[in-house]
Amino acid sequence: MMKALIQDGAVVGFVTGDAMGERLPEGLPVGVGWRFERGVFSAPIDAPLPGVSLLVERAWRDGELAQWLWLRDRHRDQLDLAVDTTLTSEQFSALLIYLQALRDWPQSNAFPDVSARPMPPTFLEQMRMDQ
């Protein structure tokens, strides 16, 4: 189930699962920049507030990190237990590279350009769609 991440009364990103975020109403195309006040989503204002894109992209980045850290931890636990791992070594390396790219992104010259977001490995996108 997709939920909206809210910061300072605005939608700054989306997550799946039950732990955090505000449930999205059916039939309403809520997107980043929409307002959320008193439990109600409303269309975004035309002019973004100064610094909002920085907050939006940092929140997106934080959500991405939170979404995949469990997978890194599970792989490490499986290695420590000397059991078969769910990820291949190539997938694990790709996951680590992606997580590091997410951590480094706010310091890059392209931040907060949405088109410059780190791209997840293909297998993560497939896992996201399967959830």
Residue 11 pLDDT: 86
Peptide bond into 112 cis (omega under 30): yes
Which residues sit opposite 117 in a β-bridge? none
Instruction: Give 75's pLDDT tier (boundaries 50, 70, 90).
Output: very high
Which residues sit opposite 35 in a β-bridge? 10, 42
% of the chain with per-residue pLDDT over 70: 93
Q: What is the pTM of this model?
A: 0.63
| pLDDT tens digits, one per residue of 36-67 | 888 898 887 665 555 778 888 998 999 999 99
Alpha carbon of residue 91 to chain centroid = 19
- Find, among 62, 117, 67, the residue nearest to 95 by Cα: 67
